[in-house]
């Protein structure tokens, strides 16, 4: 009897071999990916392309070649999208060599309305793919006041410039620590542009922070290479009729209209029928109290709310900024530890107050994460209002909340960072 021949497995098409970094490819750009890059394919391999637009044909230079994907920078646009425009920042233009392009305005070559459409696509894809949630046809990324008229420029109230070893000041190049000298800062507010030391050579400096608070004069703060910063008085930011004190280098929303926009969005998101002013209401990752104040201003001085923040100086300012509400307090703690203690140590009465609570959370770009979500679910709040600066991180957390029965009941998106890939979401979740 002849020997049995081994079964041959069907051969998969071979992926394109790894090119040398610096190789130039002609690519058809087909879509947008999270992180400000576009998607193309080369002989079966996914290529993430910077400075392109879906629908374009470009020549791009490979900057990274991994087994699962490549990265490349556009060096020439062969067939342009109708949505392409002259870059708002000359020093970031595709006409410059990629290594010499200023970072921080990666969508500046795209018409503003189409930028928002691409951000909508990224958020929709993340929510659909990761959380099984379809935001619907009405879902759109909303512009902030004045941005369309300014073509998405002049909105940044905080800018950090880096200082090179030779004292040159400027932004980093994209995905690099190379300092790029520039002659302008088009995304910066006018007050910052006026004081920007772009032609100055610095000695023992690591960075220069330029800050234009809504109250008072703009500031220029130099951080030395050993991390030393000058002693500074607190600054004041005004949102509507309310003032917030904070450290000059403390966190505050960067867009001149962002704090007011998020205040209104959070106030809209909270379901008044589910809100109990006497419950154990929370403002997690609370900073200096902006969103706790938004809740308090909507529901009155009797509102009880605890703002939790790990950075103690911010908590001290939050206590001052929330002093209008007798039931408001500010606690310095890591959020994951705070919510774990909350769930572990609650009495029967406290559990009832937790179940009636509204929880506002504004986590960092990485999201709240499983540990925080699991502990919040244990307290079973009536509703959560989630402010997210990263749609993928939010989608991951929304999926975790969804497993516990918390669905998205309202969702808004805002273009808080025009001419960049970033987008802000505000969602309400409840059972």
Q: Show binding-site residues for S-adenosyl-L-methionine.
A: 253, 285, 309, 362
For CA atoms 397, 122, 92, 97, the dihedral sign is positive
Sign of the CA dihedral with 211 first, then 217, 223, and 224 last: positive
* 373 closest CA partner among 319, 328, 388: 388
Q: How far apart (Å, rounded) are the C-alpha atoms in residues 19 and 350?
A: 61
Beta bridge partners of 284: 308, 361
Catalytic residue among 159, 239, 291, 389: 389
Q: Are strands 358-361 and 281-284 parallel, antiparallel or unpaired?
A: parallel
Q: CA-CA distances (angstroms) from residue 89 to 95, 100, 109, 153, 285?
A: 11, 13, 9, 9, 33
3-state secondary structure of 99: helix
Write out the two tokens for 69. 């994907």
- For residue 218, give both structure tokens: 């703009």
Q: How far apart, in whole angstroms, are the C-alpha atoms of residue 69 and residue 307? A: 42
> Longest C-alpha distance within the chain, in Å?
95
Residue 180 annotated to the active site: no
C-alpha dihedral sign at 360, 365, 370, 375: negative
Provide the annotated binding site: 253, 285, 309, 362
CA distance 192 to 174: 22
Q: Write out the two tokens for 282.
A: 């929370």
State the Cα angle at 63 between 57 and 66, rounded to 5°.
100
Cβ contacts of 269 within 8 Å, gap of 6 or more: 385, 410, 412, 426, 427, 428
Render the burial of 199-208: b for 16+ CB within 10 Å, e for the rest. Answer: eeebeebebb
Q: How many CB atoms lie within 10 A of CB 97?
A: 11
User: How far is 207 from 222, CA to CA, in rounded Å?
Assistant: 6
CB 171 within 8 A of CB 104: yes
Distance in angstroms (rounded) separating the CA atoms of residues 103 and 171? 7
Q: For residue 413, what are its two tokens? A: 């998106």
Strand positions, DSSP E, 20-101: 24-32, 38-42, 45-50, 57-65, 69-79
Q: Give catalytic residue positions.
A: 389
């Amino acid at each position: 009897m002849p020997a049995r021949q081994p079964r041959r497995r069907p051969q998969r098409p071979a992926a394109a071999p790894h090119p040398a970094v610096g190789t130039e490819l002609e690519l058809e750009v087909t879509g947008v990916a999270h992180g400000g890059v576009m998607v193309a394919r080369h002989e079966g391999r996914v290529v993430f392309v910077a400075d392109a637009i879906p629908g374009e044909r470009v020549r791009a230079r490979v900057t990274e070649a991994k087994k699962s994907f490549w990265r490349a920078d556009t060096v020439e646009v062969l067939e342009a999208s109708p949505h392409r425009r002259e870059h708002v920042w000359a020093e970031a233009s595709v006409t410059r060599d990629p290594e010499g392009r200023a970072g921080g305005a990666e969508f500046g070559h795209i018409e503003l309305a189409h930028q928002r459409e691409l951000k909508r696509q990224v958020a929709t894809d993340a929510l659909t793919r990761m959380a099984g949630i379809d935001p619907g046809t009405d879902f759109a990324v909303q512009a902030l006041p004045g941005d369309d008229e300014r073509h998405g420029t002049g909105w940044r109230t905080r800018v950090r410039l880096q200082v090179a070893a030779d004292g040159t000041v400027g932004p980093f190049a994209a995905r690099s620590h190379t300092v790029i000298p520039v002659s302008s800062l088009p995304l910066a507010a006018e007050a910052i542009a006026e004081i920007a030391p772009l032609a100055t050579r610095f000695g023992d400096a690591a960075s220069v922070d330029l800050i234009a608070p809504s109250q008072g004069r703009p500031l220029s703060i130099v951080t030395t290479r050993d991390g030393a910063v000058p002693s500074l008085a607190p600054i004041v930011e005004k949102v509507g009729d309310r003032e917030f004190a904070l450290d000059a280098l403390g966190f505050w929303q960067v867009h001149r209209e962002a704090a007011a926009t998020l205040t209104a969005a959070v106030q809209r998101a909270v379901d008044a029928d589910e809100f109990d002013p006497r419950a154990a209401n929370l403002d997690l990752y609370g900073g200096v109290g902006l969103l706790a104040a938004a809740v308090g201003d909507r529901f009155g001085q009797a509102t009880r709310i605890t703002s939790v923040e790990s950075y103690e100086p911010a908590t001290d300012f939050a206590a001052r900024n929330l002093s209008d509400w007798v039931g408001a307090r500010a606690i310095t703690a890591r959020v994951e530890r705070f919510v774990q203690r909350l769930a572990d140590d609650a009495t029967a009465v406290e559990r009832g107050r937790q179940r009636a609570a509204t929880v506002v959370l504004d986590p960092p770009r990485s999201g709240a994460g499983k540990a925080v979500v699991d502990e919040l679910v244990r307290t079973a709040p009536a509703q959560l209002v989630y402010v997210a600066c990263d749609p993928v991180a939010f989608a991951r957390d929304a999926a975790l909340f969804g497993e516990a029965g918390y669905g998205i009941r309202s969702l808004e998106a805002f273009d808080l960072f025009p001419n960049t890939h970033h987008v802000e979401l505000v969602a309400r979740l409840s059972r």
